[in-house]
């Protein structure tokens, strides 16, 4: 007599894990942050974090001109991009080449810090065997989240 219970249990558990994960991906958490004239949309799911940049036209935040990924390579422009997400920090490092078979001649580094509510941008050139910083910018952001309420102690209760 052949028993199929282990296979059936494996199939049942596997189906639950796969479809449960898909449900989590579908219910991904999204968050918008406005930094200058750029709106960042951060979508976080169980497996990944995606960041989309929308250029805001004028003062109307709901009216966006373009939508593009926060960090994406462009072979036509001889540029490689690497996205790294660590906690509340989202990094994009872009390296620019004259040709792809040579060392990069320039790079830019962009940090979207959700904890600080700022975007830090740095630009570098490769000169005499080392990276030299040529420009840096800091952009303050308007966070869409309401800050947590803090309890303020009454001096009468402390003394």
Q: What average pLDDT score do residues 127-147 get? A: 84
In the structure, what pLDDT confidence band is assigned to residue 107 with cuts at 50, 70 and 90?
A: very high
In the structure, what pLDDT confidence band is assigned to residue 2 with cuts at 50, 70 and 90?
A: low
Per-chain mean pLDDT for the chain: 78
Q: Is residue 47 left, alpha or beta, with left meaning phi > 0 and alpha meaning psi from -120 to 50?
A: alpha
Compare 116 and 26 and report the one with higher pLDDT: 116
DSSP 85-149: EETTEEEEEEEE-SSTTS--SEEEEEEEETTTTEEEEEEEEEETTEEEEEEEEEEEEEESSPPPP
pLDDT at 79: 94
Q: What is the pTM of this model?
A: 0.66
Question: Domain boundaries in the chain?
Answer: 28-146
Distance CA 122, CA 51 (A): 19
Residues 29-53 have pLDDT tens digits of: 778 899 988 999 888 888 888 899 9
Residues 66-87 have pLDDT tens digits of: 788 999 999 888 999 999 999 8
pLDDT at 147 over 50: no
Distance CA 144, CA 107 (A): 31
Query: CB neighbours of 74 closer than 8 A, spacing ≥ 6?
Result: 81
Fold annotation for 28-146:
Lipocalin (2.40.128)
β-bridge pairing 49-56 and 64-69: antiparallel
């Amino acid at each position: 007599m052949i028993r199929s219970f282990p296979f059936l249990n494996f199939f049942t558990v596997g189906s639950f894990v796969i479809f449960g994960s898909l449900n989590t991906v579908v219910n991904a958490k999204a968050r918008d942050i406005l930094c200058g004239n750029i709106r960042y949309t951060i979508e976080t799911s169980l497996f990944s974090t995606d960041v989309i940049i929308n250029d805001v036209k004028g003062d109307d935040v709901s009216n966006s001109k373009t939508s593009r990924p926060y960090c994406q390579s462009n072979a036509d422009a001889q540029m490689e991009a690497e996205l790294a997400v660590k906690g509340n920090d989202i990094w994009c490092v872009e390296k620019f080449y004259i040709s792809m078979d040579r060392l990069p001649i320039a790079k830019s580094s962009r940090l979207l810090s959700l904890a600080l509510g700022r975007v830090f941008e740095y630009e570098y050139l490769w000169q005499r065997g080392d990276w030299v910083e040529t420009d840096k910018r800091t952009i303050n952001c308007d966070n869409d989240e309401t800050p947590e309420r803090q309890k303020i102690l009454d001096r009468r209760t402390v003394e």
